[in-house]
Amino acid sequence: MRRTRILTAVLALAAGLLAGTPPALAADSPKTALAADTYTWKNARIDGGGFVPGIVFNRSEKNLAYARTDIGGAYRWVQSSKTWTPLLDSVGWDDWGHTGVASLASDSVNPDRVYAAVGTYTNSWDPGNGAILRSSNRGASWQKTDLPFKLGGNMPGRGMGERLAIDPNKNSVLYLGAPSGKGLWRSTDSGVTWSQVANFPNVGNYVQDPSDTSGYASDNQGIVWVTFDERTGASGNATQTIYVGVADKDNAVYRSTDGGASWSRLAGQPTGYLAHKGVLDTVNGYLYIAYSDKGGPYDGGKGRLLRYATSTGTWTDISPVAEADTYYGFSGLSVDRQDPGTVMATAYSSWWPDTQIFRSTDSGATWTRAWDYSSYPNRSNRFTMDVSSSPWLTWGANPSPPEQAPKLGWMTEALEIDPFNSSRMMYGTGATVYGTENLTNWDSGSQFTIKPMAQGLEETAVLDLASPPSGGAQLFSALGDIGGFRHTDLTKVPTMMYTQPNFTTTTSLDFAESNPNTVVRAGNLDAGPHIAFSTDNGANWFGGSDPSGVSGGGTVAAASDGSRFVWSPAGTGVQYTTGFGSSWAASSGIPAGAIVESDRVDAKTFYGFKSGKFYVSTDGGATFTASAATGLPSGDSVRFKALPGTKGDVWLAGGATDGAYGLWHSTNGGTSFTKLSNVEQADTVGFGKAATGASYQTLYTSAKIGGVRGIFRSTDQGSTWTRINDDAHQWGWTGDAITGDPRVYGRVYASTNGRGVIYGDSSDAGGGGGGGTDPTPTPTGACAVTYKITSQWSGGFQADVQLSNTGSSAWSGWSLGWTFPGGQTIGQLWNAEFTQSGSAVTAKNVTWNANVAAGSSVSFGFTGNWSGTNTKPTAFKLGDQSCTVL
């Protein structure tokens, strides 16, 4: 699905200073004491939820596969659990654009190596240039080379590819096809440095919409794929014949036969089309090319499939459907490496009634389809679909034939047959990764089974979050493209997204604080109401009515007792209602487009914010009055919330680097605000269960504090802060929503723009302060260790270690030692310092995780190397104390 949000606040590079009159309330300057807590981070499971434009199998190692997403990073397949593991969670706030992956390449010479070409937008929406990320441990850690141009992981044409390719004979040589007229680029040192291939003759000229002044649809889609003919080289010597696809309808394919020294347009090629994919069958000597008249992934009205004989230069049209009968383009091209005469392709842009998948077992001479019409509108499918693991993929629909639910897919640009297993295929859609493990049933006339293969791949863009104090729901989420979910168990995929109505994007949601069975959400929908209500804690919904002029969801707030609602929709002014929105009246005194929230105690008090002004209503939203508060952010990149349990206690976060930016607090219902001097920048604020012994709820924020960007927690009203994430867990942009859990101390839910709903649990179950102490690593008392290998590959592995304080006294520092039984060596370790001498390893705390309370634990992880066997250590010592091994 299309996600093109402009992340204004993400451009923050330095703290903004307060301008104008100081706030009316005076306060002691809070201390800037940073500490850190050990958190475990997971996703609230949804499984999928976004477009997967690329799937890459390694050609030399079984079960090694990667997936790239347009805004949510890259993933590696874990065969033992049949799940995906995220690889780019370390991307930080300032580099948020690097969560968009324009291309990905896995090295068949050295399978430990993987490369990603990253960057989300080529226009002004992404302020940074693209980069090449390179890893020597399958994505466990990365090194970066910045590029002098932008890349477009979420731009038009992102399903074409792969733009990034490794020479299969000399793996130090890589090529990258750039967008925006930047040409073809080459590296000869394994991706460390890059230079433009100056003699490449065509930088592309295709743009989706030249009239688009934003630059999104008017950018030149550039050079879109690179394919090596591995037969024309030898191990250690560069491949001589290279094919390159260019976004130029008249000159779509070029070739070099001298290792890139010279290039020429491939003679005899068709014109009028873009070459989405170019896949070479080296056994039979055929280059297959999937063509479309558009760049995709949404558009495409005509298409062709061509086969080029590399030895004779003969072109053959092998299209499975006559050109005149296509209403879609072709993509998703794959060759079965175990049986190279078998070829598959997709009708990627066939939205209705469904996508189509084509298969040939004779090099394209004849084709069969995944489904045919038996007698219109009825269909005969060669497949069955089992979405029991992600039942929401039906969208709750019951369509009339020829449509079916769930759909086979849409935006099916990526389809790959496992190069080691002809029975396994994976393909990406706009919502998930589907796959099958009995694909060859297709050829025998029996049905093959398609299932989601998306566990661990979480790709939703999160716009709002709410965790109620009671009821069956643990979490409500507002999501782009798929609406949102009610989670009753964070470890399980919900049965269905919100329905009745089913918003494409939910923009805002809220519950009544003292009556959490009452829930409201607002969102975008092509036809139908833009607001919905629930009276059973979000289990079931009914639509309200729209006031005149509503064009989008905007923000919505529920009174603390659920008796009334205030709504600020797109397209018209702020509205209020009593009951459940059967009729609305215009609020006065507040501008259209204001952000609205409710007081969590007084059912008639609502708040609003617009362009630096704070507004208050004490009559249920009928009239608002502008507060005299000054010094607040002048723009609208602001989120604010009222504290549950206390009337008039409001926290406001937001701003921009060219003005006021940070975190403000009001204790008088917004009459005045105090800016926290120890918070340089803040973009979200939320509340959770108070720490043991604390009377005030725990604060959470996505912020910059003490010069560090992260997710922070305070148990003392913002006087001190604890950074609770680490550099390995940053998720790019986290500036839309955050909330604690009112029932579980330390639990926090954070939004991402493409990595789904992240939640973290603290090892400090009871709660602690915010400050840190100097470590003294001389702990005493009982301890226990859990050592877990989380990923393993040929010669390498990743492990997590959890050290638990099972004694009765707190530690103010720790030092854990063990000996590797198989001579393993550590390459990189995080959340601790380490030394290794031979097989003996010592890991010591860092400053922020020195303190471990009795009954709590601390965790760290590392990547390492092994040979022979990767046997786990059997003994661990905390100083001189032996630990129990769990």
Strands of 794-878 (E only): list them.
796-805, 815-819, 825-830, 833-837, 840-844, 857-865, 876-878
- Predicted pLDDT at 24: 30
Q: How confident is the model at residue 622 (pLDDT cuts 50, 70, 90)?
A: very high
Taking domain 498-626, whether its CATH number is 1.10.3720.10 is answered by no
Q: What is the DSSP string of 225-274?
A: EEEE-GGG--TTS--S-EEEEES-TTS-EEEESSTTS--EEPTT---SSE
Give the bridge partners for 164, in sequence order.
176
Q: How confident is the model at residue 36 (pLDDT cuts 50, 70, 90)?
A: low
pLDDT in tens, 500-541: 999 999 999 999 999 999 999 999 999 999 999 999 999 999
- Spatial strand order of the sheet with 796-805 comes to 825-830, 857-865, 796-805, 783-793, 884-885
Q: How confident is the model at residue 34 (pLDDT cuts 50, 70, 90)?
A: low
* Class for the domain spanning 274-458: mainly beta
Instruction: Confirm if 153 and 138 have CB atoms less than 8 A apart.
Output: no
Instruction: Confirm if 44 and 686 have CB atoms less than 8 A apart.
Output: no
- Predicted pLDDT at 770: 38
- Predicted pLDDT at 31: 43
pLDDT in tens, 546-561: 999 999 999 999 999 9
- Spatial strand order of the sheet with 595-598 comes to 595-598, 606-610, 613-617, 625-626
Higher pLDDT, 794 or 304: 304
Containing 384, the helix (H) or strand (E) segment is strand 383-385
Give the bridge partners for 57, in sequence order.
65
CB count within 10 Å of CB 719 equals 19
Quote the pTM value.
0.86
User: Cα torsion for 751, 67, 125, 127, to the nearest 10°?
Assistant: 100
Please count the CA atoms within 13 angstroms of the CA of 483 that sit on its side-chain side.
23
Q: Which amino acid is at 410?
A: W
- Asked whether the predicted pLDDT for residue 33 surpasses 70, the reply is no
> How would you label 842-879 residue by residue, b for 16+ Cβ within 10 Å and e otherwise?
bbbbeebbbbbbeebbbbbbbbbebeeebeebeebbbb
- Asked whether the predicted pLDDT for residue 474 surpasses 60, the reply is yes
- Predicted pLDDT at 778: 56
- Asked whether the predicted pLDDT for residue 273 surpasses 90, the reply is yes
CB count within 10 Å of CB 198 equals 7
**Distance from C-alpha of 43 to C-alpha of 45, rounded to nearest angstrom:** 5
- Collapsing DSSP states into helix, strand and coil, what is residue 849? helix
- Predicted pLDDT at 445: 94
**Distance from C-alpha of 406 to C-alpha of 401, rounded to nearest angstrom:** 12
Q: How confident is the model at residue 767 (pLDDT cuts 50, 70, 90)?
A: low
- Collapsing DSSP states into helix, strand and coil, what is residue 393? helix
Question: Left if phi > 0, otherwise alpha if psi is -120 to 50, otherwise beta: which for 310?
Answer: alpha
The whole-number average pLDDT for the span 440-455 is 98
User: Cα torsion for 698, 700, 704, 705, to the nearest 10°?
Assistant: 10
Q: How far is CA 115 from CA 134, 238, 369, in A?
A: 5, 19, 34
pLDDT in tens, 820-845: 999 899 987 877 888 998 899 999 98
Q: Which amino acid is at 103?
A: S
Give backbone dihedrals phi and psi of 8, rounded to 5 degrees, phi first: -55, -45
Q: How confident is the model at residue 38 (pLDDT cuts 50, 70, 90)?
A: confident
Instruction: Confirm if 636 and 570 have CB atoms less than 8 A apart.
Output: no
CB count within 10 Å of CB 880 equals 8
CB count within 10 Å of CB 20 equals 11
Tokens (6 digits) for 763 = 């090892």
Catalytic residues, by residue number, are: 70, 481
- Asked whether the predicted pLDDT for residue 199 surpasses 70, the reply is yes
pLDDT in tens, 243-255: 999 999 999 999 9
Q: How confident is the model at residue 780 (pLDDT cuts 50, 70, 90)?
A: low
Tokens (6 digits) for 11 = 């451009």
- Predicted pLDDT at 795: 81
Nearest Cα to Cα of residue 225 among 190, 258, 255: 255
Q: How confident is the model at residue 35 (pLDDT cuts 50, 70, 90)?
A: low
**Distance from C-alpha of 676 to C-alpha of 696, rounded to nearest angstrom:** 17
DSSP assigned state of 839: T
Instruction: Confirm if 368 and 422 have CB atoms less than 8 A apart.
Output: no
- Predicted pLDDT at 459: 98
- Asked whether the predicted pLDDT for residue 16 surpasses 80, the reply is no
**Distance from C-alpha of 166 to C-alpha of 105, rounded to nearest angstrom:** 7
**Distance from C-alpha of 522 to C-alpha of 512, rounded to nearest angstrom:** 15
- 312: exposed, middle or buried (Cβ count in 10 Å: 0-12, 13-18, 19+): exposed
The whole-number average pLDDT for the span 213-225 is 98
pLDDT in tens, 699-739: 999 999 999 999 999 999 999 999 999 999 999 999 999 99
The answer to whether the 1-36+627-762 and 498-626 domains have the same CATH topology is: yes
The whole-number average pLDDT for the span 617-624 is 98
CB count within 10 Å of CB 183 equals 21
- Predicted pLDDT at 790: 84
Give the bridge partners for 523, in sequence order.
506
- Asked whether the predicted pLDDT for residue 2 surpasses 50, the reply is no
- Predicted pLDDT at 881: 87
Please count the CA atoms within 13 angstroms of the CA of 24 that sit on its side-chain side.
12
**Distance from C-alpha of 227 to C-alpha of 864, rounded to nearest angstrom:** 33
- Predicted pLDDT at 769: 41
Sign of the Cα torsion 48, 52, 58, 62 reads: positive
Q: How far is CA 77 from CA 74, 112, 453, in A?
A: 10, 13, 10
Every domain of the chain and the residues it spans = 1-36+627-762, 53-266, 274-458, 498-626, 783-885
**Distance from C-alpha of 618 to C-alpha of 603, rounded to nearest angstrom:** 9
Higher pLDDT, 790 or 598: 598
- Predicted pLDDT at 850: 82
Mean of all residue pLDDT scores within the chain = 93
- Asked whether the predicted pLDDT for residue 66 surpasses 50, the reply is yes
Tokens (6 digits) for 38 = 């050990």
Q: How confident is the model at residue 27 (pLDDT cuts 50, 70, 90)?
A: very low
CB count within 10 Å of CB 172 equals 17
For tokens 């006339």, the residue is 445
- Predicted pLDDT at 103: 98
Share of the chain above pLDDT 70, in %: 94
Taking domain 1-36+627-762, whether its CATH number is 2.130.10.10 is answered by yes
pLDDT in tens, 563-597: 999 999 999 999 999 999 999 999 999 999 999 99
- Asked whether the predicted pLDDT for residue 13 surpasses 50, the reply is no
Nearest Cα to Cα of residue 335 among 307, 374, 354: 307
For tokens 């049965």, the residue is 495
Q: How confident is the model at residue 754 (pLDDT cuts 50, 70, 90)?
A: very high
CATH superfamily of 53-266: YVTN repeat-like/Quinoprotein amine dehydrogenase (2.130.10.10)
Contacts of 206 (CB under 8 A, 6+ apart): 157, 220, 221, 247, 248, 249, 274, 295
- 146: exposed, middle or buried (Cβ count in 10 Å: 0-12, 13-18, 19+): exposed
pLDDT in tens, 355-373: 999 999 999 999 999 999 9
Instruction: Confirm if 429 and 411 have CB atoms less than 8 A apart.
Output: yes
Q: What is the DSSP string of 180-218?
A: TT--EEEESSTTSS-EE-TT--------S-TT-TTSSTT
**Distance from C-alpha of 824 to C-alpha of 831, rounded to nearest angstrom:** 20
DSSP assigned state of 729: -
Q: Which CATH number fits domain 783-885: 3.40.50.300, 2.60.40.290, 2.60.40.60, 2.30.29.30?
A: 2.60.40.290
The whole-number average pLDDT for the span 55-59 is 98
**Distance from C-alpha of 685 to C-alpha of 653, rounded to nearest angstrom:** 6
The whole-number average pLDDT for the span 54-73 is 98
Give backbone dihedrals phi and psi of 849, rounded to 5 degrees, phi first: -120, 30
Share of the chain above pLDDT 90, in %: 86
CB count within 10 Å of CB 322 equals 9
Sign of the Cα torsion 397, 399, 404, 408 reads: negative
> How would you label 217-238 residue by residue, b for 16+ Cβ within 10 Å and e otherwise?
bebbbbbbbbbbbbbbbeeeeb
DSSP assigned state of 868: S
Tokens (6 digits) for 94 = 């300032």
- Predicted pLDDT at 135: 98
- Predicted pLDDT at 4: 35
- Collapsing DSSP states into helix, strand and coil, what is residue 602? coil
**Distance from C-alpha of 19 to C-alpha of 660, rounded to nearest angstrom:** 7
User: Rg for the chain (alpha carbons), in Å?
Assistant: 28
- Predicted pLDDT at 371: 98
Give backbone dihedrals phi and psi of 191, rounded to 5 degrees, phi first: 85, 5
